[in-house]
Structure 1
């Protein structure tokens, strides 16, 4: 299981959220919303320090992560976080490789 945050997504976090080296961004599971990953759930985003990291990637000194107790959401797959310019939002996809 791997977390991939694309260069366009990292650039978006830097510009829109002011993320810089040493910051941490958490991806977490929310009930409700629309998702391409799990029915009835969606991903949330928060700029906060990790507690019990289950999956992480460090890009340009920024730690992107999911907590251990939320990895069920992935069904054993990795997660790709990308930026979609057409809608100006972050996009989450399973990495089934």
Structure 2
């Protein structure tokens, strides 16, 4: 699994969340919501130290990752994170490699 963060999303994480080099951001599964790949579940994020990384990417010294316990959620898809300026929100894309 690959994690891809667009330049616009990276800028959003830096400006709105205040992420900077050395920070770590985990994408994790929530029990409520819906996504195109898992009914009844959605994706969220939090700043925390990794325990057992299943997938990650490092941009400008910021580690974006998914823990081993959440990898099932992606069902073989890569995660593409983008930012929609019109909606002022992140957009998650799930792409089969």
Same fold (TM over 0.5): yes
CA shift, 1:35, in A, is: 1.9
Contact 1:52 1:67 in 2 (8 A): yes
Instruction: Look up the match of 2:22.
Output: 22
**How many aligned residue pairs are there?**
97
Contact 1:5 1:80 in 2 (8 A): yes
Secondary structure in 2 aligned to 1:38? Answer: coil
RMSD in angstroms over aligned alpha carbons? 1.0
Cα distance in structure 1, aligned partners of 2:33 and 2:3: 22
Contact 1:37 1:92 in 2 (8 A): no
CA deviation profile, 1:37-83 (whole Å, cap 9, x unmatched):
31110011101111111110001110000101110011111111111
**TM-score normalised per structure 2:** 0.94
Cα distance in structure 2, aligned partners of 1:12 and 1:41: 24
Structure 1 unaligned residues grouped into runs of 5+: none
Please identify runs of 4+ aligned residues in structure 1 that moved more than 4 A: none
